[in-house]
Structure formats: structure tokens, C-alpha cells
Chain A
């Protein structure tokens, strides 16, 4: 069973640029969530996708957007990068929507640095 994978592992961008981060969910999982983790803080929920539709969003501006594909992999896009966007971006997949008893399986994250 392959776990959650994310690419790239590290990325450096400059302010104002756009970035796309990718996530492959664990086999059999149809729900993907994205989180932002600033240094020394807990992860903060960005949004979740279920069957290619957004299913819940945290307190992030519209320049944070996402996609989920038919194979349940996902992308996180951030436009007009700001210095405060520097963080570890985590993707998590879970097997089915409908109960909070389901654990989320996290990938290792993508470290984004905005200069």
C-alpha cells in the first residue's frame, strides 16, 4: 500500500509568483485535505476535496485554490505569493467522507519559501 506522497519536497519562490503543489492520495482514499503549517505552529486547515468538489474551507483567501482529479490526486495553487505564505504545506487523505472517526493520513509535506 503506497502512502500519501507530495511533490516537490522543497520550493523557493519570490513574492508575487504563483506556485502549484501536488499530492497523491493513499490507494483507496477519495478525500484530500490541505493544511498550512508555519514554523512552530500546528497545521491550519486550508480546504478539503471530495470526489473532485471542494468540501469545506478554512480561513484562507481566494488566491489559495485547489483541484482534485478523477484518480483522487490533488493540487494546491497559490497565486500572488506573499512572504507569510512561507510554510510547510501538508496534504492528507482519508478513505471516505461521512464520519470523523476516519483518520487522515498525512504526506511528508512541501516546504515553500517565499523570498
Chain B
């Protein structure tokens, strides 16, 4: 399975935008890029996913590089509730079994 690389931790100020990077240089043509986050004392929750084009939803935006070897999760206006571990994950479109989680990025929000 393809792997992703994320910074261990990041800090951001409340009400400012946050850009969470992810490298996936070995991504294959059938891999979707997914993001999940895990709030303290909770299970992971889906944030967003994409294949080639940039994506927006009510939670965040996903910017995908043209060569698909990297992507960035964008939180437009961080709140204290966004403090969590963010996981960047590749999932083969032809399979629907496991999600392979790395260690993710721990995002700290400063009030």
C-alpha cells in the first residue's frame, strides 16, 4: 500500500487558516486521497477526499498537486474545536477494506 508523509505536529492561531501538508510520492493512478481527523477521546471522523481535482466541503478544502504526489488540507478558519490529529490516507478505488493510518499530524490551536 502506498504511504504518506506528514509533519508530526503543527500550531495555528484561532480564526486563522491552516494548511496541513501531505506527501504521497508513490501514489498510484487508482488511489484516492482521503483525510480523517481524530478529536481527543473520539474515533476518527471523515473530513474530505479527492482524486485529481481540488475539493471543497463544509469542513475543509483539499488542494491536490497536479502530479498528485502531494496534497494540502485547508481549514479556512480554525477554531479550538479543530484541535485534533489529522490523517492523510491513500485508498485504492478498487478496494474497500482497510484504511491504513499513519501517525498523522497533531494540530494545536492557540486561542
A associates with B: yes
A positions within 8 Å CB-CB of B: 4, 31, 33, 35, 40-45, 48, 55-56, 58, 90, 92, 94, 97-109
| Chain B residue at minimum C-beta to C-beta distance from A45 | B98
Tell me the B56-94 residues at the A interface (CB within 8 Å): 85, 87, 91-94
Taking CB atoms, residues of chain B closer than 8 Å to A90 are 43-44
How far, in angstroms, from A110 to B5 measured CA to CA in the complex? Answer: 28
Quick check: B96 and A94 within 8 Å, CB to CB? yes
15 pairs from A and B in contact (CB 8 Å cutoff): A33-B98, A35-B99, A35-B101, A40-B103, A43-B44, A43-B99, A44-B101, A48-B98, A56-B98, A92-B99, A97-B96, A100-B32, A100-B92, A100-B94, A100-B96
A-B Cβ contacts below 8 A, count: 69
**What is the predominant secondary structure among interface residues of chain A facing chain B?**
loop
Whether the pair A45, B99 counts as a contact (CB closer than 8 A) is yes
- Classify chain B's interface size: 20 to 34
Identify whether the interface residues of B are mostly helix, strand, loop, or mixed.
loop
Asked whether A106 lies within 8 Å of B44 as measured between CB atoms, the reply is yes
Closest to B30 in A: A100
Could you say which residues of chain B place their CB within 8 Å of the CB of A109? 42-43
**Residues of B with C-beta under 8 A to A99:** 93, 96
Indicate if the CB atoms of A105 and B93 lie closer than 8 Å: no
The smallest C-beta distance from B20 to any residue of chain A, in angstroms, reads 15
Interface residues in chain B, defined as those with a beta carbon under 8 Å from any beta carbon in chain A: 32, 34, 41-46, 49, 85, 87, 91-104
Question: Which residues of A are found within 8 Å of B97, using beta-carbon distances?
Answer: 33, 45, 48, 55-56
In the complex, chain B residues whose CB is within 8 Å of the CB of A105: 45-46
